[in-house]
Structure 1
Amino acid sequence: MPPATHAPILSPGGFTPTDERPLRAKSRQLEHRADIQPHRHDWAQLVFSVSGAVRVNTEASTYIVPPQRAVWIPQGLVHAVTAIEHCDLRTVYLHGSLLTGATWQTGRVLEVSPLLRELLLALPTLPDPEPAPAAAEERRRRSIEQLVILELQRARPLALGVALPADARLRRLCEAMLREPGRHAGLEDWALEAGYSPRTLSRLFREQLSTSFAQWRSQLLLAHALTLAARGRPMSVIASELGYASASAFTAMVTRTVGMPPSRFFESA
């Protein structure tokens, strides 16, 4: 991920927010493992997954987004997007005047309520039409946009972000774990792959990320588990794909990490 001063500023052409049209929406299909390279915008952005899961990377964190969730990306934040599977995305670009305050200056995952989902799907996703729309259509569009802002202000943030280190070598290891979380089960195997001693790797996680390897990996596995649960995968399949020998072992990890069994956690999250 390049620093903010080197990442290109991208303009989505006919979808750029303006004073007259401060909120613009774009529909986009991403194939499995498709990448949108690191970039930034002069406006805020909401990435909403209608179907399929995406991963949004910033310099400090990665956000794994299952369907019916959205990532808030503040103005100027360098980010990249990777499709974990085929995705139907809605990207909403927002003028800086629409949502202000400290809470909107950091990236995070937001819950998308049923009402917000329908409003996002109702937003026009084409550049300005020619000729201009009828007055009634224009009023409808403005009303939908106002409701989108109101629902975003009520949206509950979700703890689906995973911190990423500044150290380049450790970051490569974390990226490998993000791509294939179930490839190795424990600290020793991941340390061997990266050429660290287990003691050194454990120390780096505490120094770079202020957490233990086990705690960081548990947060990563929870985020991946949510994407699998959103596809209706049985608990046994989720456990197997994430490298657990049994569903009971996976259930124990979730319960230990979030204080509730997976069924309750998936429903609440």
Structure 2
Amino acid sequence: MKSQSGRLGRRVVRPSGRTGVERISDRSKVTRLRYQIIHDGIPALRNTLPDPYDHIPRSVVVTANDYPAGTTFPEHAHGRGQFAFASRGTISVSTPHGRWLVPPQRACWVPPGVRHEMTMTGAVTMLNTFVSDDAARAAGLPDQCGVYGVSPLLRQLIDDAIELPAMYDVDGRAGKLMALLVAEIATMPRLSLHAPLPADARLASICRHLFASPSIATDLDQVATHAGVSRRTFTRLFRAQTGVSFAAWRQQVCMLAAITRLSDGQPVTRVALELGYASASAFTSAFRRILGDTPSRYLEVRR
């Protein structure tokens, strides 16, 4: 979709089920020029969401998308790889293999063809870099989902790329900018904001329940009993299929839930107690050990 100027616009999913485009003329966001190009009858949520720019004969396309709080895109896949940068808000990404959390100012890479679901916590501004399969492989981008840091250079490249016309000159400055953007994505550090799902259906069912109701107090013996296996078998299978112990996985799920709830404005003490920690200080200590900062500082530097 293009704005009237021929540049790629900002695709907005509206609660009414209509899709529009807004063009931001001032990157400071003080002055906004909105082109109300509305197309009735286009559902906001669809079971299959193809790459909206798949028809453009360019290997890299960058778009900006604004979504209201609570927006969920059911499981779908793109023909291109998607590097989804959460400029504002928090994004939860789920695939058959696990769950990833994308805090503000971080990004998630979803390889071409990978089926995934996305949910927005709070109002989200998502800057997407869609990369063709060939370009992704040439750049050495991973074939698995992951959450990544985003350097100041990469943020600037994405911002600049949004302003390019859809049919940018691949042999000119625009083409070089896009090539540098993809090369920079390939160098970004991977972050530990992932909770893998085991392949065993019994274990996966337990994990999905804990995704919905995370608690650091979840008892290993109880979950093994619910899975219908011994503690020893559960422990062995879980580590073999996820690469981590159940205790480490449980802690990771609690941290992912904590980031989502804190980003939504919930107080630290409430989050700590609801996740089963004995006190706010115990929670803060675990948060700092795993994520490298206190909860308040972690969120502050990512806003």
CA–CA separation in structure 2 for the residues paired with 1:68 and 1:111: 8
TM-score, scaled relative to structure 2? 0.66
CA–CA separation in structure 2 for the residues paired with 1:28 and 1:175: 29
SS of match in other structure, 1:48: strand
TM-score, scaled relative to structure 1? 0.73
SS of match in other structure, 1:104: coil
Deviation at residue 142 of structure 1 after TM alignment: 3.3
Does the Cα contact within 8 Å between 1:65 and 1:227 map onto a contact in 2? no
| Runs of at least 5 residues in structure 2 that lack an aligned partner in the other structure | 1-46
Deviation at residue 249 of structure 1 after TM alignment: 1.3
1:185 aligned onto 2:217: yes
What is aligned with 2:128?
Answer: 91
Matches within 5 A, 1:105-184: 105-124=143-162, 128=166, 141-182=174-215
1:64 aligned onto 2:101: yes
Deviation at residue 111 of structure 1 after TM alignment: 0.5
CA distances 1:56-95 after superposition (whole Å, capped 9, x unpaired): 1122121111111111111222222122333221222112
Q: Structure 1 residues 33, 261: closer, same or farther in 2, change over 3 A?
A: closer
What is aligned with 2:51?
Answer: 12
Does the Cα contact within 8 Å between 1:17 and 1:43 map onto a contact in 2? no
Higher relative contact order (CA 8 A, sep 6+): 1
Does the Cα contact within 8 Å between 2:101 and 2:256 map onto a contact in 1? yes
Matching residue's letter, 1:187: D
Q: What is the root-mean-square deviation of aligned Cα atoms in Å?
A: 3.9
Deviation at residue 46 of structure 1 after TM alignment: 0.9
| Runs of at least 5 residues in structure 1 that lack an aligned partner in the other structure | 1-7
CA distances 1:211-266 after superposition (whole Å, capped 9, x unpaired): 332210111223334445667876545424533231221134346657x6647994
Counterpart selection for 1:74 from 111, 135, 150: 111
Deviation at residue 9 of structure 1 after TM alignment: 7.0
Matching residue's letter, 1:45: Q
Identical aligned residues as a percent: 30
Greater Cα shift, 237-246 or 107-116: 237-246
Q: Structure 1 residues 94, 244: closer, same or farther in 2, change over 3 A?
A: same
Does the Cα contact within 8 Å between 1:23 and 1:92 map onto a contact in 2? yes
Q: Structure 1 residues 203, 85: closer, same or farther in 2, change over 3 A?
A: farther
Q: Structure 1 residues 229, 112: closer, same or farther in 2, change over 3 A?
A: farther
